[in-house]
Structure 1
Amino acid sequence: MRLWYQSFVDEENGATYWKYLRAHLAQIADPGTEIEVHGITPYDSYAHPIVEMRCAREVICNAVRAERAGYDAFIIGHFQDAGLYECRSVVDIPVVSLGEATMLHACTLGQRSGIVTINRRFIPWFRHQIGKYGLGERVTSVHAMQFEPGQVLAAFGSEERLEAVRALFEEQARPLVDQGVEVLIPGGGIPMLLFSQLIEHRVGEAPVINGIPITVKAAETAVKLKRQNGLSVSRVAEYVKAPDEIIEEFMSHPKGL
């Protein structure tokens, strides 16, 4: 099984992050599963919807490239899931995303979940995601630390900086737990990977979940089910597949236009 893991960080600007990510993916993958990490240049270095939109276009093109190159599934390793629905409407391989898979799995661990993201500017985006997934009664709260994505990257390889980010996360998470939130979700692949170094990470009795292995296992399961009985996305409404000529037009159009 070959999986394309689409990061929103490029290797040049996130070399240490990529090193940790590749090691983590190799550790959690099933025997026989090959996961290749791909980035976006310029990477998602600033928390803003316009950056998400710019990255989404490249993600959609990369999903098509992944399918044509023979990958079995496409993973959007970015919590904001930019381009997710569009990817599913242009390829037949499974498309699994970090934000959606993590939030859905959190519903199996507790009745109320809360997200702690790295930057306040992501809060409206997450609220839109929660509504889009129909999880307004399950993912009930969103709090934020105050980092740009590139600043959190600097915490990899430093126990002191890891502890500083953990303390800031707990500062925002503690009020959520006090209000009855049962499951805590770090709002991003970067903090999830950073906190994967912490064993049985909890705030009070609330688990802090790492969505990366959840998403990888969801992708592996989707591939196995497709191989077993052909199960794939509905083409009735949201994921109606675009005609081939429309996909080609999208792929050939200059970036940014």
Structure 2
Amino acid sequence: MRIWHQSFTVLDDVPHYRDALRRHLTAAARPGTEVELHGMAPGTYPSSYPGVHIGHLYLTNLHREQFVRAALAAEEQGYDAFFIATLPDTGFEEIRTLVDIPVVAFGNASVAYAATLGTCVGIVNFIAALEPQIRRNMAAYGLGSLVGPIVQVEAEFTDVMAAYDNPGPLVDAFRRAARKAIDAGANVIVPGEGPLNVFLADQGISRVDEVPVIDSLATGLALAETRAEFHRRSGLRPARTGMYFSKPDMAMVRAARKFYFGGDR
């Protein structure tokens, strides 16, 4: 089984994260599953790291095209599933209308799974600008009532990268943020974005006090494997009705993409 993992980062720009991500997903995968890491194109973020871009709607929508292109390539190349490995689930609703292979998204999968362990999901991340997008996404998925407090770790992207060499300060900052979410009613925690998730998994953190902490990336991978297996056995795929699920004629898609992007991509 081959799973296409798609990150919002330029992976070679963040080798600590890339290497930790590879170790983590390789360890989490089932025997026989190959997870292939893919990031954004080199030069995508010429002046600032992804955490700045991801908080602006227009920039996010521009970058979404790379996720769409990747998903189309994944299906064409015979991958068994496509994993959108970013908390705001960039392109998820669009991509699942374009391909028939299973599409799994970090935020959707981790919150849905968290609901099997608790009744109020606290999200702890380090990009404050994401909160409106996360809440809008969860409402669209029908999961909005499950999401309670969204709390920010007192750290930035560079702090998360530095923590691979000096983990203590970030571990303490995460626990403080998680306890704020717990005090506000959360009884299960979803961490995001991916770099924080992988860091916590590397540190063996699966609980804060008596509250479970979801390994969001491992959860998404497990769902991608399960969806791929069911798709192979029975052809299981999403609904194909209405604007948010129906699949357009691909000749029409190719013509529109050629018009906007200058080639049949």
* Same fold, judged at TM 0.5 (above): yes
Q: Which moved more, 1:222-231 or 1:172-181?
A: 172-181
Q: How many residues in Structure 1 have an aligned counterpart in Structure 2?
A: 252
Aligned to 2:102: 94
In the alignment, does 2:85 pair up with 1:80? no
- Tell me if structure 2 keeps the 8 A contact 1:111–1:138: yes
Cα deviation, residue 125, structure 1: 1.5
Q: Residues 27 and 250 from structure 1, CA distance in 2 versus in 1: closer, same or farther, beyond 3 angstroms?
A: farther
Q: Residues 51 and 147 from structure 1, CA distance in 2 versus in 1: closer, same or farther, beyond 3 angstroms?
A: farther
Cα deviation, residue 201, structure 1: 2.9
The one-letter code of the counterpart of 2:22 is R
Q: Which moved more, 1:200-209 or 1:146-155?
A: 146-155
CA distance in 1, matches of 2:104, 2:91: 11
Cα deviation, residue 150, structure 1: 4.6
- Tell me if structure 2 keeps the 8 A contact 1:123–1:144: no
Aligned to 1:48: 55
Q: Residues 132 and 146 from structure 1, CA distance in 2 versus in 1: closer, same or farther, beyond 3 angstroms?
A: farther
Cα deviation, residue 148, structure 1: 4.1
Aligned to 1:154: 162
Aligned to 1:2: 2
Query: Unmatched 5+ residue regions in structure 1?
Result: none
CA distance in 1, matches of 2:126, 2:226: 30
Cα deviation, residue 138, structure 1: 1.2
1:206-229 superposed Cα distances (whole Å, 9 cap, x missing partner): 111111111111001001101111
Query: Unmatched 5+ residue regions in structure 2?
Result: none
Counterpart selection for 1:229 from 224, 230, 234:
234
Aligned to 2:194: 189
CA distance in 2, matches of 1:164, 1:250: 49
The one-letter code of the counterpart of 1:246 is M
- Tell me if structure 2 keeps the 8 A contact 1:119–1:148: yes
CA distance in 2, matches of 1:82, 1:247: 19
1:153-199 superposed Cα distances (whole Å, 9 cap, x missing partner): 3323x1x2x22122222222212212331001112111100100232
In the alignment, does 2:261 pair up with 1:254? yes
| Segments ≥4 residues shifted beyond 6 Å | none
CA distance in 2, matches of 1:87, 1:153: 30
Scaled by the length of structure 1, the TM-score of the pair is: 0.92
Q: Secondary structure at the match of 1:142?
A: strand
Cα deviation, residue 251, structure 1: 4.0
CA distance in 2, matches of 1:40, 1:150: 18
Cα deviation, residue 147, structure 1: 4.1
The one-letter code of the counterpart of 1:242 is P
Scaled by the length of structure 2, the TM-score of the pair is: 0.89
CA distance in 2, matches of 1:11, 1:143: 26
CA distance in 2, matches of 1:8, 1:17: 12
1:95-118 superposed Cα distances (whole Å, 9 cap, x missing partner): 001110000000000011100110
Q: Residues 233 and 27 from structure 1, CA distance in 2 versus in 1: closer, same or farther, beyond 3 angstroms?
A: same
- Tell me if structure 1 keeps the 8 A contact 2:191–2:215: yes
CA distance in 2, matches of 1:22, 1:210: 15
Counterpart selection for 1:165 from 170, 187, 190:
170
The one-letter code of the counterpart of 2:92 is L
CA distance in 1, matches of 2:98, 2:194: 24
Indicate the percent of aligned positions where both proteins have the same amino acid: 33
Alignment root-mean-square deviation, CA = 1.7
Question: Which of the pair is proportionally richer in helix?
Answer: 2
